[in-house]
């Protein structure tokens, strides 16, 4: 089976410089050596995106560049599987974004990277890349997944949990798809969602993420939302609670929604399910027209809002789609 690797940048291919880590490793030479003597030794091709970036500089346009590269190679080699090498900082955003844009792709995409560059003694690069390749060629998965630290996670259910540990990522509201071992342990398949036919390309939309904190005032929240963005992901407490007794705070949200800005309420909790109206402190948001993110990660919710805006959805129509699973990003 042929595997195409799209290399976007990130720690895995970096080398030391006087100004810190920069791209520069001989990735293709390293891959050749890594796969020598295996069935994939001459069955892997590599594209390096230009320019290579630190993933902290990624935008929705970066996501689209990856989508375009994957689709181009899928057209050339329909039976190929895909691996995307990516920096860890925003890997979970990218894997979620790819999952929405590629629901019609018939072969799997596995996103991975490493906490240490491939040339560093003790690096996790080899384990992650070989694990991603094994997952991509297993015949057991479809859609977009993320392999890291000996676990295969659904790409739109993962979140970065550590800047240093080799586990790196967690899937707080969904079980891993597989765990490495002798043999690998595979979980039962989960519903894939409705899909999205003929997805329009990602564009860069004005979406703001706001974390609430004790003592925030209506004046401060309004200042953060001025001028009004196209959509807001409001990270509230618990199951979607806000300081409802703070004078004028929920009115700020109501005015934003009335002006056409979609407001999606997420939770600051690592494991969570947003239930607007479960407490009085969240009921005002529910009545204002805000919509909860259910059990989506922040990364999945943010990427989904960017995807829906790129499809031309706004306001209530966008909000309605936040509660529908496109690619398995929320529990049905």
- Enumerate the active-site residues: 11
Helix (H, G, I), strand (E, B) or coil at 305: helix
Helix (H, G, I), strand (E, B) or coil at 53: strand
Q: What is the DSSP letter of 139?
A: S
Largest CA distance in the chain: 68
* C-beta neighbour count of 67 within 10 angstroms: 21
Task: Give dist(CA 83, CA 297) in Å, integer.
Answer: 22
Task: Give dist(CA 152, CA 208) in Å, integer.
Answer: 30
Q: Which residues contact 295 (CB under 8 A, 6 or more apart)?
A: 173, 272, 273, 274, 330, 331
Reading the block at residue 162, the tokens are 């550590």
Q: Which residues contact 273 (CB under 8 A, 6 or more apart)?
A: 173, 239, 267, 294, 295, 331
Reading the block at residue 275, the tokens are 């239930």
Q: Which residues contact 239 (CB under 8 A, 6 or more apart)?
A: 267, 272, 273, 274, 275, 276, 278, 279, 282
Q: Which residues contact 84 (CB under 8 A, 6 or more apart)?
A: 5, 6, 8, 66, 70, 94, 95, 98, 109, 110, 111, 112
212 closest CA partner among 260, 267, 287: 267
Q: What is the DSSP letter of 241?
A: B
């Amino acid at each position: 089976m042929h595997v195409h690797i799209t290399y976007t940048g990130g720690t895995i291919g970096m080398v030391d410089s006087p100004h810190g880590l920069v791209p520069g490793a001989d990735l293709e030479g390293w891959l050749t050596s890594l796969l020598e003597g295996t069935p994939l030794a001459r069955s892997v091709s590599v594209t390096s995106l230009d320019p290579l970036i630190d993933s902290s500089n990624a935008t929705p346009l970066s996501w689209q560049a990856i989508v375009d590269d994957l689709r181009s190679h899928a057209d050339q080699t329909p039976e190929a599987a895909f691996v995307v090498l990516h920096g860890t900082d925003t890997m979970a955003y990218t894997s979620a974004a790819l999952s929405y844009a590629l629901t019609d792709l018939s072969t799997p995409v596995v996103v991975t990277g490493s906490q240490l560059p491939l040339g560093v003694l003790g690096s996790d690069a080899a384990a992650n890349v070989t694990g991603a390749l094994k997952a991509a060629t297993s015949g057991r998965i479809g859609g977009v997944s993320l392999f890291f630290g000996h676990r295969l996670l659904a790409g739109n259910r993962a979140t970065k949990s550590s800047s240093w540990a080799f586990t790196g990522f967690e899937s707080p509201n969904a079980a891993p798809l597989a765990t490495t071992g002798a043999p690998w342990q595979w979980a039962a398949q989960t519903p894939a969602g409705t899909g999205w036919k003929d997805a329009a390309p990602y564009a860069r939309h004005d979406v703001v993420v706001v974390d609430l904190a004790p003592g925030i005032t209506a004046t401060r929240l309004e200042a953060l939302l001025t001028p009004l963005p196209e959509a807001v992901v409001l990270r509230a407490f618990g199951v979607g609670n806000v300081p409802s007794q703070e004078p004028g705070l929920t009115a700020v949200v109501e005015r934003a929604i009335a002006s056409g800005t979609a407001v999606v309420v997420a939770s600051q909790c690592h494991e969570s399910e947003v239930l607007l109206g479960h407490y009085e402190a969240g009921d005002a948001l529910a009545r204002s027209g805000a919509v909860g993110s259910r059990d989506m990660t922040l990364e999945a919710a943010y990427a989904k809002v960017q995807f829906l805006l790129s499809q031309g959805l706004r306001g209530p129509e966008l909000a309605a789609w936040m509660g529908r699973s496109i690619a398995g990003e929320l529990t049905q």
